[in-house]
């Protein structure tokens, strides 16, 4: 599935593939498997962190836009709705439900998102996004060093490519004027 925009995640994944290929070419199959398992975890955390940054930036941009850059309101939103709150925006284990997030913005946005996200490509993007978030939570809270991540780096990257469409959707929903400008 082609990704429509280049991000540092793409570079990270390509470098990871090159390292694994090098180890395999050197006959280091055991090392290549261990490195791949570790780098899959790193890729997963990188994807989740990248999405968190883009979504929280979108919320901040939305607050700036609708408040006409009112410093007091933007500060309140940043402190009480953004900082250390991302984990609470979604029901991560529910692979199709984003209403918790969109309901934070009122019924108009929530209702239109509910209709729009039923489209096949966006429904897949939502599921991929929520799966990555759920896997990230498991990885972080179940002891990173020993957690048996069942996904390969290629599978994580595939989920990333799908989930990226949902993150772009959120950016467009909250700030349709600047969609596509964030990377």
pTM for this model (two decimals): 0.89
Kindly state whether residue 183 falls inside one of the protein's structural domains: no
Q: How far apart are CA 3 and CA 156, in angstroms?
A: 13
Kindly state whether residue 1 falls inside one of the protein's structural domains: no
State how many domains the chain has.
Answer: 1
Kindly state whether residue 179 falls inside one of the protein's structural domains: no
Kindly state whether residue 131 falls inside one of the protein's structural domains: yes
Instruction: Compute how many other C-beta atoms are within 10 angstroms of the C-beta atom of residue 24.
Output: 14
For 45, the domain range is 9-174
Kindly state whether residue 133 falls inside one of the protein's structural domains: yes
Kindly state whether residue 164 falls inside one of the protein's structural domains: yes
Q: How far apart are CA 149 and CA 48, in angstroms?
A: 15
Structure tokens at 14: 């390509």
- Maximum Cα–Cα distance across the chain: 60
Kindly state whether residue 81 falls inside one of the protein's structural domains: yes
Running DSSP on this structure, what letter comes out for residue 98? -
Span 88-119, pLDDT tens digits: 999 998 878 899 999 999 999 999 999 999 88
Please report how many Cα atoms fall inside a 13 Å half-sphere around the Cα of residue 52, on the Cβ side. Answer: 20
Kindly state whether residue 3 falls inside one of the protein's structural domains: no
Span 130-176, pLDDT tens digits: 999 999 999 999 999 899 999 999 999 999 999 999 999 999 999 86
Do the Cβ atoms of 133 and 48 come closer than 8 Å?
A: yes
Q: How far apart are CA 178 and CA 73, in angstroms?
A: 21
């Amino acid at each position: 599935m082609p990704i429509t925009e280049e991000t540092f995640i793409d570079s990270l994944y390509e470098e990871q593939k090159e390292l694994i290929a090098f180890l395999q070419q050197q006959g280091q199959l055991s090392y290549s498997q261990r490195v791949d398992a570790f780098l899959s975890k790193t890729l997963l955390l990188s994807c989740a962190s990248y999405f968190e940054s883009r979504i929280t930036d979108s919320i901040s941009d939305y607050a700036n836009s609708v408040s006409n850059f009112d410093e007091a309101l933007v500060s309140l939103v940043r402190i009480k709705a953004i900082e250390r709150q991302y984990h609470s925006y979604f029901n991560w284990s529910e692979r199709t439900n984003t209403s918790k997030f969109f309901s934070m913005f009122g019924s108009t946005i929530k209702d239109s998102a509910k209709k729009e996200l039923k489209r096949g490509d966006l429904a897949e993007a939502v599921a991929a996004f929520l799966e990555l978030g759920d896997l990230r939570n498991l990885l972080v809270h179940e002891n990173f060093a020993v957690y048996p991540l069942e996904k390969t780096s290629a599978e994580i990257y595939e989920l990333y490519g799908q989930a990226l469409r949902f993150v772009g959707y959120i950016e467009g929903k909250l700030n349709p004027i600047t969609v596509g400008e964030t990377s």
